[in-house]
Amino acid sequence: MGKKKIYLFCDAGMSTSIMVNQMQGIADKHNMPLEISAYPIARAQETVEKEKPICILLGPQVKFLLKSTQETFEPMGIPVAAIAPEIYGAMDGEKALKEALKLIKNKK
C-alpha cells in the first residue's frame, strides 16, 4: 500500500514547506508511511480531488478559511483543522504531526 497523504495549505505554500519538512522528518524517523506536502490554498480543490489526502491542515495565515474548507472537504471524509499559531510559529513538526494523527484517529 502506498503512503498516506497529509496536505498543508497556506497562502502561498512557502513558510508551510518548512513545516512540511519538519513533519516529514518526524514521520520518516518513526517509519510512518506518510507523504506530507504543502500547497497554496487557491489550489486546494484541484489538489484534493486529484490526490485525496487523509487529512488537511491549514496554516494560521488562512485560518479564516477553516469553516469553508471543512464544509468542502469533510463530507468527502477528509478531516480539516488549522495548525495552532504557537505550533506553527515554533515550526514544531512533531506537535503538528501529532495533531494531524489525532485528527485522523478521531475521524475513524
Residue type, 98: K
CA atoms within 13 A on the CB side of 94: 2
Contact 55, 6 (CB under 8 A): yes
For the annotated catalytic residues, the residue numbers are: 10
State how far the Cα of 34 lies from the Cα of 100, in Å rounded to an integer. Answer: 11
Residues 6+ apart with CB under 8 A from 47: 7, 39
Residue 9 · residue 64 · CB < 8 Å = no
